[in-house]
Structure 1
Amino acid sequence: MKCARFYGVHDVRSEEIDKPVCGGKEVLIKVAYAGICGSDLHIYNKGMFVQNIPETMGHEFVGVVEEIGSGVTEYQPGDYVTADPMVPCGHCISCQSGSFNTCEELGFIGEVRPGCFAEYIVMPEDKLIPVPKASNLRSMALTEPLAVALHICERAQFRAGDRIAVIGAGPIGLLTIIAARSIYGVQDITAVDISDTRLELAEAVGAADVTKNLKEDRLFDKVIEAAGNPHTLKLAAEHVMPNGKLYVVSIFEENTEFDINRLVASQITLVGCNVYTREDLIRAVKAISEGEVEVDPLISGEFDLTQCAEAFRILSSKNKSAAKILFKM
């Protein structure tokens, strides 16, 4: 089968490997679509997270059950599914309490075991999430990143009257705007980014205002930092109202200095948001399948696995003109 494998920084290759075989409590899934995530770009640009080289990348996908193991009871061939791609350790304090997204050694498929940038993937039955048969599989490929956005919205406890800013209009920032407006009723949303294309997209999906720069006196009840660099973190902290909240959802590739005195003086609450829960994934499936949110505008293009190097090059370019790129199998 075709797959896209990581060999090193800026070295992603299309290869032919053996089709996997499912065990007793496992399911073989024919992948329909798989999305390139920001964390995949961290792997591509910095070699972060990956434990084995080469490794089949990817953790965002939707597909169709092709075969089931002898012990599988909940799924049948032909079922549409997505999956929880987290691979927690199972024994740390967080895992013991059921908070798998805060596992001390949390990994994902595509990092610590083969991922979904392949024509087929095997997953344990208990990691699967059913997708309604009538669903548009192309849209459902964004289930996992939408779950990240829903987790942010829940952590932020968005209310209709909130005045919020989203710093970074990449896929997670854009999906947060979509969810905040469509599901939580927030109207006063400002998107901040350096890319004209992404600002245009932010406005199209629901931002009331878009800008490359925030005036010094412009403050917000809640600010979402979704860009992941020292400048944007500083910018985010500077534009939170006294007694407001700053939500950091990015992965930072480098250690970052931060003026903690700003938080102390203005009694700003700093909140971390890490990926999602299984419940967020289930909620994301429902939101897309029932039309609560429209995610298709974020899809910038579809590529074959043989074009993986080009897809990663586009998403890593400085102009940031693309949002979400999918591999179509």
Structure 2
Amino acid sequence: MTVRCPSPLLTGLALLLLGGTGAAPAATYTNPVIDEDFPDPFILRVGKAYYAYGTNAGGLDVPVRRSSDLVHWTFVGDALGGLGAWASGGFTWAPEVARTPKGYVLYYTARHTASGRQCIGAAFSANPEGPFRDASAAPLVCQLDLGGSIDASPFTDRDGQRYLYWKNDGNCCNQPTALWGQKLSADGLKLVGQPKDLLYNGALWEGNLIEAPQVYTRANKYYLFYSASDYNSDLYGVGYALGMSPLGPFRKQTRDGAWLATKGKVAGPGGQGVITDGKGNTWLYYHAWTTGQVGYGSGGARSLRLDPLKFVNGLPMLKGPSVTAQPAPAKP
């Protein structure tokens, strides 16, 4: 791609309309911030830039975009430079990335060729944009007796210890689903010790599955956010559990209904994560359908959205889901 310097005639307004990392800071924004299919998002902050990774779409295994303000996003390309030898293409889901002393590790879900189940791999790159490459002959996590493993999410605690969370894919084959956690090595490429089952589906609103775990810590508490129910419907939503250590025990705080659920023009929110802006304010990002265009085949898309996340007396409070203009995140 050839890059040319902008003409002096390009005004700040024109740059704002173009979007991307060169856009002027936005005073306000309106959801969605990526108004196209970008499911299972994960956002990583690196210095003054943010990188968003999503489930395979448009022929790409892991589409990645870059932003300077969480509002305007520039398409970068495919972050994954090649699946592991154990995997088949076309089913690359829910990527998340961890920064390590030697570079970046991308955890991704892909089809395990030998079994036909979904399993989790780890790919490495020196750069957050990739290309990430998985040199492993076998997946990192692959609970074949429990239906497979998906939705890996890394977390680094305050003491530097790394953890990986995921879901066993039991709903693929009439088995229970659970969220799991296990320690990781310092380079993020190997599991340490034994896995621990943390939560199971069981609440009425969760349907036959819980998935998409992500842990966030604040004031010595650990918040395990997760999605549940049918992603392809307006029943999908976000719940959370609370614990006092990275591996729990965790207690569900959302047994009677989803914490973030379908409301107004926003349907089936999920695939959530927490990110901080330039002033340290917390935001929840997530994908969602537009009401009336729910499910593949409807013409709809799971677009990327974000809303301010506050903590009141130790409980997460979300200003959303929103569809009107509101103050934008602060740039790093």
TM-score (normalizing by structure 1): 0.28
Structure number having the greater strand percentage: 2
Larger RCO, structure (CA 8 Å, separation 6 or more)? 1
